[in-house]
Amino acid sequence: VRADFQSRQRRLACDLAAHRLDALIVSSAASIRYLSGFTGSHALLLATRDDSRLFTDPRYKLQASLECAARITVVKGPLIHSLAAWIRRLRLRRIGFDPAQLSYALFQQLDRELPEAARLVPAGGLVENRRMVKSAEEISRIRRSAETASRAFQETLPLIRPGMRELEVAAELDYRARRLGAERPAFETIVAAGPRSAHPHARPTANCLGSNQLLLIDMGAMQDGYASDMTRMLHLGRPSRRVRDLYQAVLEAHQAALEAVRPGATAESVDRAARRSLRKAGLARAFVHSTGHGLGLEVHEQPRLGKGDVTRLEAGMALTIEPGVYFEELGGIRVEDTVIVTPAGCEILTPTPRELLVL
């Protein structure tokens, strides 16, 4: 596994050379973990073309020495001072940073402490782009994470009945996922009943489940550092004709998107396939978000399966496929799977069946 980190650092060194950078300041925890293995929450990483150095505080001294495949500097006080001192010592000139990750306060402080000859160059997304294509080890972690979430879902199903609170259902799902090996939920589990399911990112409430309503469950596990993401729909009581038709339309859009996933296709073309399918059913305006997103160390990563993202898909990318339709009074219907792009198309990692579950 240590070899993994070294090869990631080497690939980043190639990117630095291609962008004529002497170094890159990495400030996102997920990217620091990707490059070095360090899982603590307070660190900065300075990647040069020759090596990488992690800056962290004394609380993480032992943890860094156990986990980190980079040189380590333990800093008392602000990490940025020590990082600036290393930049001066190594006489680095062009130093990349990610404008979406480094705070303005840290940027200003760094800018003040660097010598005249050094320049801070915006270089966003270098590590994030590398993170898109997963190694075999990463794929097996995402697969395990998806299996854990699916099992927790299956184990929770028999408990769900009218009168139960959304929060109780969410607690049962999270509890079971943890017992099955998850470190935590990949994001705050969504359990949304009836009209509340019309909010694509609803938070569970103390409201009780009723009868004759939709129930949307969107959940994922974070296991061995890797996320999964899945949405399934239940119906409490017999679904109406309209609900069944809408559900069928979403399933067809989901299938159309799956069929569009293959190496060489653009991210936005997958979105277009789902949208075209829903448009044919007269539901274009009810589909209010993009079709999916990359995932891995974080639950939302590149690429974004939406209009304007022309990233070419490659074998080994991990994506979600999650078309949905939303109506203020009826609620929302979404079906979401975690998939891996394969040389021939894609493989679905979420084993839970996709039909509407009637309770």
Beta strands in 194-350 (DSSP E): 213-219, 221-223, 226-227, 230-236, 292-294, 301-305, 318-321, 324-327, 331-334, 337-342, 345-348
Shortest CB 338 distance to Zn ion, Å: 8
Shortest Cβ distance from residue 279 to Zn ion (Å)?
22
Q: Which is nearer to Zn ion, 118 or 186 (CB)?
A: 186
* C-alpha gyration radius of the chain: 23
For residue 218, the minimal CB distance to Zn ion (Å) is: 4
Nearer to Zn ion, 15 or 174 (CB): 174
The minimum distance between CB 221 and Zn ion, in angstroms, equals: 12
Q: Which of 128, 138, 218, 309 binds Zn ion (CB under 5 A)?
A: 218
CB of 153 to Zn ion, least distance (A): 12
What is the signed CA dihedral for 214, 217, 218, 221, rounded to 10 degrees?
-170
Cβ closest to Zn ion, residue 202 vs residue 278: 202
Core vs surface per residue 116-127: b (16+ CB within 10 A) or e: eebebeebeebb
Q: Which of 149, 330 has the CB closer to Zn ion? A: 149
Tell how far CA 311 is from the center of its chain: 16
Binding segment for Zn ion (CB under 5 A), chosen from 110-118, 136-144, 158-166, 227-235, is 227-235
Does 229 interact with Zn ion (rule: CB under 5 A)? yes
Give the HSE-up count for residue 198: Cα atoms under 13 Å, Cβ half-sphere. Answer: 11
Q: Which 329-348 positions form the footprint of Zn ion (CB under 5 A)?
A: 336
Closest CB to Zn ion among residues 174, 229 = 229
53 or 134: whose CB is closer to Zn ion? Answer: 134
Stretch that binds Zn ion, among 28-36, 78-86, 105-113, 225-233 (CB under 5 A): 225-233
Asked whether 276 and 284 are in contact (CB, 8 A), the reply is: no
Contact set for Zn ion, span 102-121 (CB under 5 A): none
Q: Provide the 8-state DSSP code for 133.
A: B
Q: Decide if residue 320 touches Zn ion (CB under 5 A).
A: yes
Q: Identify which range of 144-152, 198-206, 303-311, 314-322 contacts Zn ion by CB under 5 A.
A: 314-322
Question: 193 with 328: CB under 8 angstroms?
Answer: no
Question: Of 7, 17, 87, nearest to 46 (Cα)?
Answer: 87
Shortest separation between residue 248's beta carbon and Zn ion, angstroms? 21
Q: What is the DSSP letter of 307?
A: T
Which is nearest to 4 in space by CA: 120, 115, 96, 130? 130
Instruction: Give the binding range for Zn ion (CB under 5 A) out of 56-64, 193-201, 215-223, 241-249.
Output: 215-223
Two tokens, residue 281: 């059913």
Applying CB under 5 A, the site for Zn ion has a residue count of 4
Using rule CB under 5 A, residue 301 touches Zn ion: no
Residue 138 binds Zn ion, judged by CB under 5 A: no
Cα–Cα distance between 322 and 306 in angstroms, integer? Answer: 11
CB of 165: closest distance to Zn ion in angstroms? 21
The residues binding Zn ion (CB under 5 A) are: 218, 229, 320, 336
